[in-house]
Structure 1
Amino acid sequence: MAPAAVRDNSVVFAPRIQELLAREEKVFRIDATTVGVSDSRLVAEIVAARPVLSTERSVFKPAAGAEIHHDSATRTIRALGQDVMAGIRTPPPPARGLSGAWPYAATSYLRRWLFSSDPLPVSLLSKRGVTRSDALSRIADRTVAGWPGLGGGEGRSTALAGQIHGASGAQERMQAIALYRRATATLCDGVAALAGNALWLMGPGRPPEDVRTDLTAALWETLRLLPPAWMLFRMSGDAYTALHPEIRPEDRIALLPLLMHRHPDYWPDPLEFRPERWAGVADPENAPAFMPYGFDGARCWAKHLIVPLAERLLTAAFDHRLVIRSPQQQAHVPLRSLLSVRFDAQTGA
């Protein structure tokens, strides 16, 4: 399952990821307390063994000292969906924002595209320089929480900012602030990673016309070969011990779509970038051994927004003649929670 050259580009994974890719077993011990699983049947059994815990979620893990209630999470996703659909319908920002180091340039570009209409200091919550620092995030949270008359829901503010404005109490307000920060970061980081991975897999310069014609298929194939959500954890528990002899009650379970999506037992020519494999597939998420957005009970709540927004971002990039400006035909994928290829790009406009 080692990576092969795709078109004219190739990928160099961080050593720890490369070690996982080199494993032939579908169930194996990663370290003293973690078991890796890429077996499709066992993954399904693990997912069905118990409901996902709140601490195993990302956006909707506890905030402000309390659980995020289902209705609050639902309102957040609906608001995020409104903002993404509104953003897709508006002209993109100046193309020069796409030039630079990817996926960081794309992340900043998306945040400016979707959330720049929010008033200060709310807009600070979506700034990459703020979200990368725990200290700055806490300062921004406190500033927003104490800022009078944020104006959410008025003028051109986003629906997500309106959740902060409409909060009924201090705790609800702090949770709305946390959800704004998490939702904007998760969406923009994930879409930027997906679009960047797709650009690299398509090859240097302008992608072939057949790929440009069906960007949706190219993005689904990217989600197979380089899924940003490449590893998801389930915490320890007795629910899993009867499923496989390698799993102990104290073990964490690392579910590995990156390995499962590349395994020849499930996919013909698994290391080749072949968007045409999705031609005529009405519902890609139902493809066997394909879990691009997580697993049942813990799937990304914004999954319906990811591919359309990534397609819109790539269209804007191609319309402005974005090309990869990398000195090498190898791109590095560091060991991060979000799998993303690193390269430099420049627009022609």
Structure 2
Amino acid sequence: MYAPRIQELLAREEKVFRIDATTVGVSECDLVAEIVAARPVLATERSVYKPAAGADIQHDSATRTIRALGQDVLAGIRNPPPPARGLSGAWPYAATSYLRQWLFSSDPLPVSLLSKRGVTRSPALSRVVDRAVTVWPGSGAEGGTALAELIRAASGDLDKKQAVAMYRRATATLCDGVAALAGNALWLMGPARKPAEAPADLTAALWETLRLLPPAWMLFRTDGKAYTGLHPEIRPEDKVALFPLLMHRHPDYWADPLEFRPERWAGVADPEKTPAFMPYGFEGARCWAKHLIVPLAERLLTVAFDNGLVIRSPQQEAEVPLRSLLSVRFDAGIGA
């Protein structure tokens, strides 16, 4: 059950269309490529690397964050996962909390609070915790994450505030994105498999989920001046919304586009080179953690299947609300 505005988009047949007085939607593969190539992505158009503490995030800082996050994920998934009962409850929220506990709970207080969902949901608590970490990031306790070490190593008030912001954004973006992907896959695989039975090719199932229910389903370009010569519908004052969700479902690009068919990825060495398939965004703004997403989602689902996680909600329908990440909402339980 898609939110009404998403359902309206899915019902459109045209590939270039006006959403409102100042926004144009695009799902035409070649035009998307031209728009992406027309100019570099702006700092304000990025989710993680948008300005923080009143200043742009420098390239060196962004690179350090990517490397640290990769180290933390690789180290985390080598550790035994938390008790699987943590996956019971409302998805994708249960999966988000589970991933944060698995990957980032080793950090000392108050840094570990930065990735707690109960904190991140409250702007007031977030400000208090951010301030506490800036003043006292905790000692260099053994087993802490590389992301936390970037906070401790930051010099100066601005650098420390930005390191705190990057920790929060990186952990949230990774865990929320993986939880959304894993939840979407769990729902799509549900009717076709026996309870607690993992598919033969879980990786292919995740790629097919990225096609049919991509968490990163829309990307904005906020300044249309560079695109006015590419299509008559786009004016200089327009914002442009690029829709992988629509492109991934169009019959011009895909056979049986609305069917969940993981076998379509069998033998595909590099799925990202598949025409009209952009699961991690577009050149210049591609997801900085894309190399971590599918392996971590596969690990999470393996834990879920090994411990008998099943969907409790009715199998026929589930809610897909209007959010920045496209994710199916349902209840699941261990051995339910």
Q: CA deviation at 1:86?
A: 0.7
Amino acid at match of 2:54: G
Structure 1 residues not aligned, in runs of 5+:
1-11
Deviations 1:278-299 (A, max 9, x none): 0010000110000000000000
Q: Which of 6, 11, 21 does residue 17 from structure 1 map onto? A: 6
Q: CA deviation at 1:118?
A: 0.5
Deviations 1:15-42 (A, max 9, x none): 1000000000000000111100000000
Contact (CA 8 Å) 2:197, 2:305: kept in 1 or not?
A: no
2:199 is paired with a residue whose SS is helix
Structure 2 residues not aligned, in runs of 5+:
none
Contact (CA 8 Å) 1:231, 1:257: kept in 2 or not?
A: yes
Return the TM-score normalized by structure 2. 0.97
Paired position in structure 1 for 2:139: 151
Q: CA deviation at 1:266?
A: 0.3
Alignment of 1:29-44 (within 5 A): 29-44=18-33
* Structure 1 residues 328 and 203: CA distance shift in structure 2, 3 A: closer
Q: CA deviation at 1:205?
A: 8.5
Q: In structure 1, how many angstroms separate the alpha carbons of the residues matched to 2:50 and 2:296?
A: 24
Q: CA deviation at 1:110?
A: 0.3
Q: Which of 311, 323, 328 does residue 324 from structure 1 map onto? A: 311
Contact (CA 8 Å) 1:240, 1:249: kept in 2 or not?
A: yes
Q: Which of 60, 64, 88 does residue 71 from structure 1 map onto? A: 60
Paired position in structure 1 for 2:100: 111
Q: In structure 1, how many angstroms separate the alpha carbons of the residues matched to 2:133 and 2:138?
A: 8
Q: In structure 1, how many angstroms separate the alpha carbons of the residues matched to 2:45 and 2:314?
A: 39
Paired position in structure 2 for 1:226: 213
1:277 is paired with a residue whose SS is helix
Q: CA RMSD in A?
A: 1.5
Q: CA deviation at 1:210?
A: 9.2
After the TM superposition, which parts of structure 1 deviate over 3 Å for at least 4 consecutive aligned residues? 204-211
Q: In structure 2, how many angstroms separate the alpha carbons of the residues matched to 1:277 and 1:75?
A: 36
Whether 1:139 aligns to 2:128 is yes
Paired position in structure 2 for 1:203: 190
Paired position in structure 2 for 1:85: 74
Q: CA deviation at 1:168?
A: 1.4
1:184 is paired with a residue whose SS is helix
Larger deviation, residues 206-215 vs 23-32: 206-215
Q: In structure 2, how many angstroms separate the alpha carbons of the residues matched to 1:264 and 1:136?
A: 47
Larger deviation, residues 157-166 vs 323-332: 323-332
Q: In structure 2, how many angstroms separate the alpha carbons of the residues matched to 1:327 and 1:238?
A: 47
Contact (CA 8 Å) 1:205, 1:324: kept in 2 or not?
A: no
1:345 is paired with a residue whose SS is strand
Contact (CA 8 Å) 2:190, 2:315: kept in 1 or not?
A: no
Q: CA deviation at 1:129?
A: 1.4
Q: What is the aligned residue count?
A: 336
Deviations 1:81-113 (A, max 9, x none): 000001111110001100000000000000000
Paired position in structure 1 for 2:232: 245
